[in-house]
Chain A
Amino acid sequence: MEFIVLLKQVPDLAEELEIDGSGRDLARDWLSYVTSEWDEYALEEALQLRDLAGGTVTCLALDTGSVDELLATSLARGADRVIKVGAFERPPDSHASAHAFAAALREVRHDLVLVGVQAIDDLDGQLGPLLAAELGLPHVSVVTHIAIGADGSTVTANQEYAGGVVAEFEVDLPAVLGVQTSREAPRYAPVSRVRQLMKTATIETLEAPADGVGGLVVESLAVPVASGHAEMIDGDAGAVASRIAEILAERGLVRTGAAS
């Protein structure tokens, strides 16, 4: 079975995000990027499914100039094949990404395409359903618990709803699934192995159009002003604990006999 995983990088939220001079984009010069969290789950799930059902895992990433390490890391984790797609000066939106990946997938065999269910910068929608619409494939978002059917022509997957309720679907292949989480935490790739693969691995390339458009006009970006903000408690851990205990006692939230 041919498993495809589509990967992208997003700004690292551990660092402060700033808005550029135009007011319509992030100040990207000093941003550091990480692999989108849900894409990591998609890759882990693909590797697990391949190990159960046999086949190959091929990872695709749009070439935004800095995806070699991402693809080498995918190989270090166990992917069989990696492909850089197109050429982009800046990270494309979801519609443009779907258009480029669709072009690539017309050249690459695929039975099950796994994508992260969402990314933190999905302003114009999620990649999965956009790609599926362009390729005319069935699609399910927010899935967990993917299993390959007995004859290899279908998968079952659970779509999550609020309150822990899930719907189990049977899906004809080929199909696109938006992965919410993997059955196990994404595996670790040793840094030394990634470094070695950056030098020796074959990263294939595929051309793809860069002209897809999402049709959104961004007027402005802003750091949201919270309607309120917590009253902050200063001091070391002991001082913080004392003040919290006081607040709880004032509100009668401490059991009788405790906290004086």
Chain B
Amino acid sequence: MSNDVFVLVEHRDGLVTEGTFEILGRARDLASQAGGQAVALLLSDAVGSLADQLGGTSILAVEDPVFAEFSPSAYHAALVPIVTERAPLLLLAPNSGVGMDVAGGLSGSVGLPLAAFATSITIDGGAPVVSCQLYAGKIEARVRFRDGRGICTVVAGAYPASAGRVAGSPAVEHVTPPPPDQRVRFRRLVRPEAGDVDITREGVLVSVGRGIGEQENIELVEALAAALGGVVSSSRPVADAGWLPRTRQVGKSGLRVKPKLYLALGISGAPEHLEGMRDAELIVAVNTDPRAPIFGVAHYGAVADILDVVPALTKRLG
């Protein structure tokens, strides 16, 4: 048993993800407060260059060809004995597909409690206290772990990645993996086809969500985008419905954008969406729900039906 804070390293295409650096920075602070150290859990076929990206960090490395790419079953089989034997104070994982698989699997198998959708983690009286966003960000829960130890999946953007990037050389301890569990086998990475426009490079985004109602109404926002010299983007439901291409989707599973102007039309502002657009320079939101979380990040807001506001605005800009 230790007061170490473990961090699951998520990597893809030979690069450690941004979400990993966000939690690694926080792990260092928490570990120093708790009297332990931050330890990165790195599973890879080639530990070297990934370890270098982590700078002066303690690393527990599992090196095996089976870890060339993420596999939920292979990671689970390798990590259960490590977490069981070393019993860290905390294990932090990004709230991504990878993090959900690993954190949930470990909680179920090792018996450590799990706090999901964590937005803030502090140490109080030697034990972690975690704030979690529930109900699409409408409620915040403050929780502790029954025995003072546990696992958190941390939402993107909760902490700055810059704090996780430190200079120095990693201290790597290699751990021999148990026989691999290959019931989930990686086949390939599929990348999105290049879209007609790159929304990450546009200065003005007119973004639509569920509030658009029907596919026919997309042309209303196309007209507004044209009047503003911008392009149309969307939240997830509009892309899922096939009303706009996936390459226009802003948010956790879409793209992270930072335009000069982000018009959020009929977008309630679920945490997964806010993750992709909260850094826009100017955010103007129109939504029929006065309690929509989008108004918490927008600079200007109006409670109105976008089907009324959009044509009126287009006319005024024409």
Which residue numbers of A lie inside 8 Å of B, CB to CB? 11, 13-14, 16-17, 19, 26, 95, 98, 117-118, 120-126, 128-134, 138-142, 156, 158-172, 175, 178, 180-181, 185, 213-224, 226-234, 236-238, 240-245, 247-248, 251, 253-255, 258-259
Are B303 and A121 touching (Cβ within 8 A)? no
Are B143 and A169 touching (Cβ within 8 A)? no
**Which of B39-47, B64-72, B82-90 forms part of the interface with chain A?**
B64-72
Q: Out of A123, A161, A171, name the residue touching B134 (CB < 8 Å).
A: A123
Are A237 and B115 touching (Cβ within 8 A)? no
Question: What is the bound-complex CA distance between A218 and B140, given in angstroms?
Answer: 11
Given contact pairs A13-B138, A125-B103, A138 touches B183 in the complex (Cβ within 8 A) = yes
Question: What is the bound-complex CA distance between A26 and B140, given in angstroms?
Answer: 11
Closest to B200 in A: A163
Q: Smallest distance from the beta carbon of B215 to chain A beta carbons, Å?
A: 12
Are A134 and B300 touching (Cβ within 8 A)? no
Question: What is the bound-complex CA distance between A17 and B145, given in angstroms?
Answer: 25
Are A248 and B228 touching (Cβ within 8 A)? yes
Are B113 and A215 touching (Cβ within 8 A)? yes
Are A217 and B143 touching (Cβ within 8 A)? yes
B317 interface hit (Cβ, 8 Å): yes
Closest to B290 in A: A232
Are B190 and A165 touching (Cβ within 8 A)? yes
B141 interface hit (Cβ, 8 Å): yes
Are B100 and A226 touching (Cβ within 8 A)? no
Given contact pairs A138-B73, A245-B317, A17 touches B282 in the complex (Cβ within 8 A) = no
Question: What is the bound-complex CA distance between A175 and B309, given in angstroms?
Answer: 48
Question: Sorted from nearest, which 9 A-B pairs have the closest CB atoms?
Answer: A133-B108, A129-B104, A215-B113, A226-B296, A230-B301, A237-B308, A241-B312, A142-B97, A164-B192
Given contact pairs A133-B105, A222-B140, A237-B304, A230 touches B70 in the complex (Cβ within 8 A) = no
Are A185 and B184 touching (Cβ within 8 A)? no
Are A232 and B302 touching (Cβ within 8 A)? yes
**Which residues of A sit under 8 angstroms from B141, Cβ to Cβ?**
123, 218, 220-221
**Which residues of B sit under 8 angstroms from A171, Cβ to Cβ?**
183-185
B132 interface hit (Cβ, 8 Å): yes
B174 interface hit (Cβ, 8 Å): no
Given contact pairs A122-B116, A162-B252, A215-B145, A138 touches B300 in the complex (Cβ within 8 A) = no
Q: Smallest distance from the beta carbon of A211 to chain B beta carbons, Å?
A: 14
Residue of A217, A228, A230 contacting most chain B CB atoms (<10 Å)? A230
**Which residues of B sit under 8 angstroms from A118, Cβ to Cβ?**
100, 116
Are B135 and A233 touching (Cβ within 8 A)? no
Are B285 and A230 touching (Cβ within 8 A)? yes
Q: Smallest distance from the beta carbon of B292 to chain A beta carbons, Å?
A: 10
B166 interface hit (Cβ, 8 Å): no
Are A222 and B97 touching (Cβ within 8 A)? no
Question: What is the bound-complex CA distance between A123 and B144, given in angstroms?
Answer: 12
Closest to B305 in A: A237
Are B101 and A232 touching (Cβ within 8 A)? no
Closest to B229 in A: A255
B256 interface hit (Cβ, 8 Å): yes
Q: Out of B101, B145, B150, B301, name the residue touching A141 (CB < 8 Å).
A: B101
Q: Smallest distance from the beta carbon of B269 to chain A beta carbons, Å?
A: 10
**Which residues of A sit under 8 angstroms from B100, Cβ to Cβ?**
117-118, 125-126, 128-129, 141-142, 178
Question: What is the bound-complex CA distance between A244 and B285, given in angstroms?
Answer: 10
Q: Smallest distance from the beta carbon of A158 to chain B beta carbons, Å?
A: 7
Given contact pairs A169-B185, A175-B183, A218-B141, A124 touches B282 in the complex (Cβ within 8 A) = no
CB<8 Å pairs between A and B, sample of 9: A19-B139, A126-B116, A140-B97, A161-B253, A165-B190, A168-B189, A214-B114, A216-B113, A237-B308
**Which residues of A sit under 8 angstroms from B300, Cβ to Cβ?**
230-233, 243-244, 247
Are B255 and A169 touching (Cβ within 8 A)? no
Interface members, chain B 290-317 (any A CB < 8 Å): 291, 293, 295-305, 308-309, 312-313, 315-317
Are B261 and A240 touching (Cβ within 8 A)? no
Are B138 and A125 touching (Cβ within 8 A)? no
**Which residues of A sit under 8 angstroms from B144, Cβ to Cβ?**
216-217, 219
Closest to B313 in A: A241
Are B282 and A253 touching (Cβ within 8 A)? yes
Are B72 and A140 touching (Cβ within 8 A)? yes
Closest to B316 in A: A245
Q: Smallest distance from the beta carbon of B150 to chain A beta carbons, Å?
A: 7
Given contact pairs A125-B103, A228-B297, A240-B286, A168 touches B12 in the complex (Cβ within 8 A) = no
Are B187 and A170 touching (Cβ within 8 A)? yes
Q: Smallest distance from the beta carbon of B217 to chain A beta carbons, Å?
A: 15
B246 interface hit (Cβ, 8 Å): yes
B133 interface hit (Cβ, 8 Å): yes
**Which residues of A sit under 8 angstroms from B103, Cβ to Cβ?**
125, 129
Closest to B187 in A: A168
Closest to A174 in B: B183
**Which residues of B sit under 8 angstroms from A168, Cβ to Cβ?**
186-190
Given contact pairs A142-B97, A251-B282, A170 touches B185 in the complex (Cβ within 8 A) = yes
Q: Smallest distance from the beta carbon of B92 to chain A beta carbons, Å?
A: 14
Are A123 and B115 touching (Cβ within 8 A)? yes
Residue of A14, A132, A215 contacting most chain B CB atoms (<10 Å)? A215
Q: Smallest distance from the beta carbon of B133 to chain A beta carbons, Å?
A: 7
B35 interface hit (Cβ, 8 Å): no
- For the A-B complex with A219-B129, A232-B300, A255-B229 known, give 4 more contacts whose Cβ atoms are closer than 8 Å: A139-B104, A161-B12, A216-B113, A241-B316
